Amino acid sequence: MWTLGSSQICKIVPYSELPISKVLNAGSAINEQILGKTHHETGQITWLSVNAYPEKYEVNGKTPSFVVVYFVDITKKVNNFSYKDIVPNAQDMILVTEALCGHTEYTLEELIGETPRIFQGTLTDKEATQRIRQALLEHRPCTETLLNYTKTGKPFWVQMNIFPLTNDYGEVTHFAAVQRDVSETKFQTEQLDKRNAELKRIKDNLEQLVNNRTRELRSANLKLEKLAYVDALTHIPNRRAFLDSLKKFLHLACRNKQAILVGIADVDHFKSINDQFGHAFGDDVLVTVAQTLQKLFRQEDCIGRIGGEEFAFCMSLPTPRAANQLLERFRETICHLHTTQPILKGRNVTVSIGAVYTQKTENTEIKALLKAADDALYKAKNSGRNAVECTLDVDVLVTPKLVKECN
């Protein structure tokens, strides 16, 4: 029995479709027609590629017609796979049934010759079908989950596992597809998504939320850092920041063999100012003194508010005379603030200043410098306030214990 074959269906070939009949009827050759020959006992099909052409010659003055037909066995190329090639690649248990027709509501006749696109609809994921198409073109396996539809339009979800099948020559001849109905799983997932809609929205925007939160945390850290090193009222460095800067300044002066001036300025009668004019006016006084410090001293100098009404400073100066001139200029500027700063409302404000000028920076400790400046400040206050007291290279600056030498 001759059989006409394809990847989907086999049917018995009528005489009119056989190669010899076609050649006799048309008078022209046919090339590479695929036919299957069924063994009468085993039922096994042998696949053949058939070529045929007419040939004419004269016998006794007549011209009889002959048809030359030759066959090439291509069974291994066309049909060299079985269920054994499919089962090892399947990811689920396989039941061979006729359930597909019942599940999709199509008849067997309607499905024969069709592609899986017959089950697809408007909501079927086009990107997923494109990925499947690309995998088929590249002869590689793929797994996708698709929304399909029955004949009457009822939706159902399938997970498709598609993989190529090859013959003995390593050529891909067919593709096998194992499908699993996952509609129930998808339904449960959709219900869960609906119950957690708010959570899903948060998840969708998680990256943006994280970025916003990161910026907020960074801003908060900057504020905390500012609070840790900047005085909240006057917006100049606080005691902690000033001591850190003074340590670095002293180390630099040691390396460069420079003399330094370290001083402390204290607002005179500040308690009385608060008691007489109120704490708000007292705050205005402190802010004004801090602003004057910022204007008078250079950017590379150190300044800071180290106590309630106490301000400290540190700078490098070449001579003691220059140090005294700077200190006097600072005192006089504060003394005349009431004439230049309307916020002081004409009320006179003065400061007492104690400072120490030294060239002995090699073995000098910060604690000793500040104590010397504080002692000088005490003398300035005892002398009547609104005064400057500067100590030059006192022995107390050299500590008994040798500190680390400058590099």
155-209 tens-digit pLDDT? 888 888 888 887 777 788 778 877 778 877 777 777 777 777 777 677 777 888 7
Of 78, 50, 52, 48, whose CA–CA distance to 65 is shortest?
Answer: 52
Confidence band, pLDDT 50/70/90 cuts, at residue 58: low
pLDDT at 78: 60
Residue 406 is given by DSSP the state P
Radius of gyration over every alpha carbon of the chain, rounded to an integer in angstroms: 50
Q: What is the mean pLDDT of the chain?
A: 81
Phi, psi (deg, nearest 5) at residue 103: -70, -40
> Which of 82-91, 260-269, 387-396 has the largest mean confidence?
260-269
Output the six-digit token pair for 324: 């005294």
Of 69-83, 224-238, 297-311, 330-344, the least confident: 69-83
309 is catalytic: yes
pLDDT the model gives residue 95: 41
Q: How confident is the model at residue 85 (pLDDT cuts 50, 70, 90)?
A: low
Distance of CA 18 to the CA centre of its chain: 66
Q: What is the pLDDT of residue 305?
A: 95
Residues whose CB falls within 8 Å of the CB of residue 365, separated by 6 or more in sequence, listed in order = 399, 403
The residue annotated as part of the active site, out of 171, 190, 300, 309, is 309
Contact criterion met (CB below 8 Å) for 174 and 153: no
For residue 268, is pLDDT > 90?
yes
Check if the beta carbon of residue 149 is closer than 8 Å to that of residue 121.
Answer: yes
pLDDT on residue 16: 80
- Range with the poorest average pLDDT among 166-175, 260-269, 298-307, 364-373: 166-175
| pLDDT band, very low/low/confident/very high, at 89 (cuts 50, 70, 90) | low
pLDDT band at 212 (very low <50, low <70, confident <90, very high): confident
Higher pLDDT among residues 241 and 89, named by residue: 241
Q: Which residue has the higher pLDDT, 242 or 395?
A: 242
What angle do the packed helices 279-296 and 320-335 form, to 10 degrees? 140
Specify the range with the lowest mean pLDDT, choosing from 109-113, 138-142, 243-247, 334-338: 109-113
**83-190 with 229-397: one CATH topology?**
no
Length of the chain: 407
**Mean pLDDT computed over 80-102:** 53
Is 50 exceeded by the pLDDT of residue 15? yes
- What pLDDT score does 36 carry? 79
Measured in Å, how far apart are the chain's first and last C-alpha atoms?
A: 104
Arithmetic mean of pLDDT, 371-384:
94
Choosing among 3.10.20.30, 3.30.70.270, 3.75.10.10, 3.40.640.10, the CATH entry for 229-397 is 3.30.70.270
Q: Strands 30-38, 2-5: parallel, antiparallel or unpaired by DSSP?
A: antiparallel
- The string of pLDDT tens digits covering residues 148-157 is 888 888 888 8
CA-closest candidate to residue 390, choices 359, 355, 347: 355
- Residue 97 pLDDT > 70: no
pLDDT at 316 over 60: yes
Residues 6 or more apart whose CB falls under 8 angstroms from that of 241 comprise 228, 229, 230, 304
Closest CA to 162 of 116, 198, 217, 107: 116
The reported pLDDT for the residue numbered 196 is 74
Beta bridge partner(s), residue 248:
none
Determine the average pLDDT of the residues in 363-381.
91
Distance CA 108, CA 190 (A): 32
> What confidence category does residue 103 fall into, taking pLDDT thresholds of 50, 70 and 90?
low
Which residue type occupies 342? P
* Cβ-based neighbour number of residue 29 at 10 Å: 14
Q: What is the mean pLDDT of residues 245-249?
A: 92
Chain-centre distance of CA 205, in angstroms?
A: 13
Q: Is the pLDDT of residue 88 over 70?
A: no
Confidence of residue 87 (pLDDT cuts 50, 70, 90): low
pTM exceeds cut of 0.75: no
**Better pLDDT: 394 or 386:** 386
- Largest separation between any pair of C-alpha atoms in the chain: 156
Judge whether residue 20 has pLDDT over 90.
no
* CB neighbours of residue 138 within 10 Å: 9
CATH class label, 83-190: alpha beta
Mean local confidence (pLDDT), 106-131: 82
pLDDT-derived band at 405, boundaries 50, 70, 90: very low
Confidence (pLDDT) at 276: 94
pLDDT at 387 (0 to 100): 95
Pairing, β 302-305 against β 155-166: unpaired
Q: Where are the domains of the chain?
A: 2-78, 83-190, 193-226, 229-397
Q: How many CA atoms lie within 13 Å of 39's alpha carbon, on the beta-carbon side?
A: 6
User: Rounded CA gap, 248 and 253, in Å?
Assistant: 9
